[in-house]
Amino acid sequence: MALLGFLVTYQSLSLWPQSIIAGALLWMSWYTWTFFLVPWWNSDEPKELPYWIPVIGHIKKMMTDAHGLISYGREYFGNTREPFSMTVMGQSMYFVTSPDDVVTVYKNPVALDYNPFIKEVFLGLGLSQPTIDKMYDENYKSGKHFVDVMHENFKLQMHPGEKLDILQTSLLGYIYDALHWGKLSSLAGHSNDSNEKIVSLYKWSEEVVVDAATRAFLDPVIYELAPDLLPEFAVFDVESWKLALEFPDFAARRMYASKRYMEKAMTKYMALPEEKRSKESWLIRTMINGLNELGLDPQDSAPAFFTLYRTTNINAHKIAFWLMAYMLFDNDLLSRIRAEILSGFGSSDSLNITYLLESCPLLNSAYEETLRITDWPVGVRTVMAPFTLHGKRLRPGRKLLMHYRQMHFDPAVFGDDATCFNPERFMRNKSLERSTSYRPFGGAGTYCPGRFLARREILLFVAVLLKRFDISLVEKNGKAPRFPRLDDGLPTGGVIAPVFGDDVLLKVRPLKS
């Protein structure tokens, strides 16, 4: 009788109230089915984090506070660190936050493959499908495709050995040359004192580190082909998130213009005969030769070449910025690290990189802590076959995301102050650097081979800067400067930049040798 009464009342209503009631009933049916009945029926699958709007899912929070959203999901399911599922714009993805599960993923590269995601990235960067097919042709060399061979070549160039020594000598030499008083003019602000310059820490670290890497990897002739390469890269670096989200050209004109400028430069560079680019690194020469062997002309392969350039330059200068920022806002830390560094210089202006790596424990600990706090690496896999992870059945075709940043703030591993910067953390507990919960460079087959060179260039940048300059923070309108905030709304896949406008201004004076 109650149901009959409801139907009679419902039929007596006008169309608008009927639509509201029907919509509410449909929504309740969808919500009950999706978040109660399906999980009960498929209890062996990762649980789905509830959301209010069908298809849309968690897109808003993912765009504004992805780390907070994933933390919420982990805690919503009791902080067990079991894999859970989340829907964003109709796509259901698995999220992994347990170090043990990450290791399991690494051990199963066939069932949980990263290549489909790399192919998507290549498409998004502008490579054509035929070009990608050629790059993934397993008949390229000894049953391996070009991308795998290049990853192996990356290791040969960037892991400790003769090839890294050659590249390192070149890159570190460029950093030495760039950090001179006379080179600060292009970065300087206004000051009434001729022996003092106002400098943006972010721009300074970016220009010095990116320029040094550019000259070390490529032949300096690249600047003849593209005089504005560095400023255009800086623009792209700031706006590249729009590319990842597939913004149309009219909504990201400046970003796409920078991308086209750099790809045009790479096209011209690759088309040069070898004798015109004789100073390039072994890795670059090998890559260009490999692309030629695939039958790809420079214009077709320019996006892939630009991807390599971007990969080698997108993170190191940001780590240098954050490490210097933490020191500048902590006078005691700055003094201790300066004393640690200066002992290695002695009476000369040169420094053996081995000293920085082996005899500066506080500097190296602060470096690791900076990575832990500011890095946001993400490992992406595609489920290629039925697979069970942490007792949960994964469906083929779905993406699996390992947000390592979730592990970097685990108090069970890093202590109750895990959310705070503690420069002595890795010095006091040397096992943390080897912990499976600490993944600033990923791991397994995708373990970043550039980690050795990155540490060296960043530590040298800091050491030479502190040796040659007296630096202090600049007040703004009579107020003490504020520590820059992390722009951590969107997952970056690398080191996070500061919020726009949160730069650190420095008062710089030369120090007498």
Which residues are documented as binding site for heme? 448
What is the β-pairing status of strands 47-48 and 84-88? parallel
Contact 366, 421 (CB under 8 A): no
Place of tokens 């430069």: 265
Residue 403's nearest CA partner among 73, 150, 95 is 95
Provide the 8-state DSSP code for 491. -
Contact 423, 326 (CB under 8 A): yes
CA dihedral 224, 225, 231, 232 (to 10 degrees): 180
Provide the 8-state DSSP code for 37. I
Q: Would you list which residues are annotated within the binding site?
A: 448
What is the β-pairing status of strands 392-394 and 112-113? unpaired
Please report, as a single letter, which amino acid is at residue 355: Y
- Retrieve residue 493's tokens: 């896949």
Place of tokens 């109650």: 2
What is the β-pairing status of strands 469-473 and 387-389? unpaired
Please report, as a single letter, which amino acid is at residue 340: E
Place of tokens 């045009």: 264
Residue 313's nearest CA partner among 410, 211, 461 is 211
> How many angstroms separate the first and last alpha carbons of the chain?
96
- Retrieve residue 88's tokens: 């964003």
Q: How many CA atoms lie within 13 A of 214 on its CB side?
A: 27
Cα distance between residue 33 and residue 504, in whole Å: 51
